[in-house]
Amino acid sequence: MTESTPFYVDRAKVGRASCKGCKAHCESGQLRIAKLVASPYGENQQMKSWHHVNCLMNVLLKQRPTTKRIDSIDDIGNWDNISKEDQEYILKEINQMEKIYADKYNGKYTAKVIKNEHTQTEIKSPNVSLNDEIKVETEDDKFSTFFTLCKKISKVDAYTEKTAVVNNFFTNGCNGKKFNGDLVLWCKFLLPQVSKRIYNLKSKQLVKLFARIFNTDHDDMLTHLENGDVADTLQHFFKKSNTYKPATESSLTLQTVDDFLHELSKLTKEDEQIYHFKKIIKKCTVDDLKMLIRLIKGDLRINAGPKHILEGVHPDAYSVFQTSRDLDMVLERVLPQSSEVKHKDAIHKNVQAKLSIMTPVLPMLAEACKSVEMAMKKCPNGMFSEIKYDGERVQVHKKGNEFKYFSRALKPVMAHKVSHFKDYLPQAFPKGVDLILDAEVLMVDLKTGKPLPFGTLGIHKQSEFKDAGVCLYIFDCLYYNGEILIDMPIKKRRQILHDNMVEIKNHVMFSEQELIYKPSDLANMIAKVLQLGLEGLVLKDLESTYDPGKRHWLKVKKDYLFDGAMADTADLIVLGAWFGTGKKGGMMSVFLMGCLDKFRNKWVTVTKVHTGHDDSTLERLQKELSPLMVKISQDSNKVPNWLDCKKGMIPDFVAVDPKKQPVWEITGTELTKANLHTADGISVRFPRVTRIRDDKNWETATNLEELKHLYKTSKEKTDVSLLNKLAATADDYVPPEKKPKPSPKKAKNKTSPVSNTLEKCFAKYTQKKEKSPVNEHNTKNNADDDSDKTDIEDTSSIKEDIKPKLFPDNPLPDVFLNKRLGFYPDFISIPEKERFHFERHWIAYGGIVNKSLKNIDVDYVVHNNNKIEFGKMVKLKRRLPPDVRHVTKSWLIKCINWVKLCDTKNYTVIVEPLQ
């Protein structure tokens, strides 16, 4: 290398050198380019300052015009030894850099011709900048046409109607005869969420930039932003701006806007971004700016996704897209090869999906499985039952010595979670050159080999676990050494995996699985997994293929079973709220839930929830909560003293008085630990509002001590007694083809297997109460022949400290034995389905229900309301024994959920004095 080549290019060999621009490593095999700089180790010596190609272009872009740049390909050493594709890529980047440079100096700077005698390749500076007048070649490529089409798509609701609008435009164009626009660019614009460009411009940052551009009050713009749409906010202030007046007619094209967005994605400094926006805003109408911002945000607000748009382009385009999320590749396959043809007339027919290595594949998903019967129907050929790991889904691509890792959302996985796998995967697959694997990555205890809890993969969390490491649990193989496997049944894919993979302990492992054919075996497996505190199971039909993006697998979790009866719940107080976005903009739609820490007399945060309310309920809550809330706009200085809240959880609104706030029942997958919250770190995973508890106030809501108890018990043991009964009836399942066709009347009354199990249990206990004395109850249960056959099998092989017998001979504990329950008339007025739910659980756990209070033989009287008039109570006491306890419905719910007879202290009905 000599001074005549101030730059040098090659592919990284080892991967130790770091890019001087972004400071990240130049990975082994990655294309890089060096600038020669003076070496500090010797006079007249030079050293290579390595950069990623785009990083070097950014460095050159910031230099003064007089500073040396790449004037000719002869300036780049080792040029002839790199591939043609690499040469074309570098030339393209240089061209883009020169284009920006020319525009930066108002078109006065002319880029030099970059020419090489051998390659005869030329790159010239652009003839058109954003400051030049745009000549529109076709009406179909106008940016205003794009706005019009988006408006049409948003006005129709049905999926078929949206697809028809897209198809009609791409067929007939603006003139009604033929589409003459750039179809590839149109698809990219209509699907901005698929774009790989990253702008790093959130709503508040955009407001900050445009407050300077429009010379407008920043606080006023933030107030308007509370309506939830930053594009509307910027459009509103653009109309009022005295600094920049909106254009009366749009002259922008899709190509101009695409170039603008491409350059914007490279800018990181505010001044550079403002300068760049100012160049295009001069030509924007108010509608142009609105759509431009929505493209940046990746949300056009047209309620249309890839399925709507791509099926409007080609019938097979969406199925191809599901296999490969690379939009360029999809369009290349469905469109003709000739670049001269841009319209829809010549699209390929019957295009088949094709998997491509190093391009992420949409992962196959699982739907919720609510019963054993549902699983047997969905998997009639038998199934693999796999442990559902509580980690992060990862798709691994290996091409020679190059590795890529994609998340469930098909984004690159952070390096600290996966970087070391490149050392172990070649050992695990000694003959595997090219691979695509579906896997789960999670932390494991290196001493015991047991997985650690969800959330421990973070870089800071990893440092807290010195005796733990990151492990890859592999459960599927989609591609192996040039062979696409997704059309093979899973039993064959799994066999290929086992034939070609060697486990590396605590680093690369097979996922645990069992072969299931019988309903009782599945019920046993579910019970084992939940008893061990694992998240659940994933069930896969043995003959199923890998269908990208489809929910053809099944997932079993405790909150899916028995209509959510096994889910973790807590009654929490509404402490604050945030503004929503989109159609919920300007409304309180995300709520901060918490509880009282009695020891400190402080209210602590538990979770934030935004699901569970329908639109009408949400609208009603605005009126009910507004008088109870005060706006603090996430200002930490305005957080009241009674609230213990971390910075990331400061809401837009906070309660005036937490003791006057409503109580909501929050249900989630599990109680978990989250450092964002102050309730001793306890939070709710996947929270949703299941009920508004009008019968409760701040005193009877869950407090911190009770929440700690709930968390402890949920982690120590899972009450799976109902699963034992489910296993007992599982063998009664008859495959669909053997079932007689039910009559129309019976079909209407069909219930789930979970409901059937409880019905049988309820009927069984009712029958025993009628036929035999109470003291014979246990004897008959223990003598029941079926109980021995259906007890869930021993789990000692899974966990040593678990007793050989998971459950008692009695399938349901007699926690309410001999306890007689009566209902006050206001309770009988509640929906029959809800009342029957309470009755059957009380009886199933050994209790007795007297539906009429004419029979005075009761121990508890349940009221729907927590108050009763004095006169009514006097009349009631005349008919009842003096030791009868009058309790609220909340007490009954707590007893059933906790499977024990709870204290009535905080659930006693209040007698209102005479006026």
Continuous segment of H or E residues that includes residue 241: none
Which residues sit opposite 869 in a β-bridge? 912
Alpha carbons 887 and 866: distance in angstroms, whole number: 8
SS3 36: strand
**Contact indicator for 35, 44 with CB cutoff of 8 Å:** no
Q: Is 583 a catalytic residue?
A: no
Which residues sit opposite 327 in a β-bridge? none
Q: What is the 3-state secondary structure (H, E, C) of 439-483?
A: EEEEEEECCCCCECCCCCCCHHHHHHCCCEEEEEEEEEEEEECCE
In single-letter form, the type of residue at position 229 comes to: D
Structure tokens at 497: 């995996």
Alpha carbons 312 and 5: distance in angstroms, whole number: 51
Long-range contacts of 414-423 (CB under 8 A, 24+ apart): 414/459, 416/459, 416/462, 417/392, 417/441, 417/457, 417/470, 418/394, 418/470, 418/472, 420/470, 421/396, 421/470, 421/472, 421/507, 421/508
SS3 505: coil
C-alpha angle 755/757/759, rounded to 5°? Answer: 70
Residue 538's closest CA among 548, 524, 526?
Answer: 526
Q: What is the 3-state secondary structure (H, E, C) of 708-760?
A: HHHHHHHHHCCCCHHHHHHHHHHCCCCCHHHCCCCCHHHHHCCCCHHHHHHHH
The number of residues making up the chain comes to 915
CB count within 10 Å of CB 370 equals 18
> What is the CA 359 to chain-centroid distance, rounded?
21
Residue whose entry in the numeric block shows the structure tokens 């009450």? 719
Alpha carbons 609 and 256: distance in angstroms, whole number: 42
Terminal CA-CA length for the chain: 102
Q: Residue 631 contacts by C-beta under 8 Å, 6 or more apart in sequence?
A: 652, 653
SS3 654: strand
Active-site annotation holder among 99, 188, 388, 889: 388
**Contact indicator for 576, 590 with CB cutoff of 8 Å:** no
In angstroms, the Cα distances linking 333 to 189, 320, 338, 370, 875 are: 19, 9, 12, 40, 81
Structure tokens at 321: 């897209």
Residue 595's closest CA among 676, 703, 711?
Answer: 703
In single-letter form, the type of residue at position 844 comes to: A
Residue 378's closest CA among 389, 388, 387, 367?
Answer: 367
Residue 533's closest CA among 561, 563, 558?
Answer: 558
Structure tokens at 225: 């932003």
DSSP state of 914: P
**Contact indicator for 353, 320 with CB cutoff of 8 Å:** yes
**Contact indicator for 490, 476 with CB cutoff of 8 Å:** yes
Give the up-direction half-sphere exposure of residue 602: CA atoms within 13 A in the CB hemisphere: 13
Residue whose entry in the numeric block shows the structure tokens 């043995």? 542
SS3 213: helix
Helices (H), 156-250: 159-172, 183-190, 203-214, 218-225, 230-240
Q: Which residues are catalytic?
A: 388
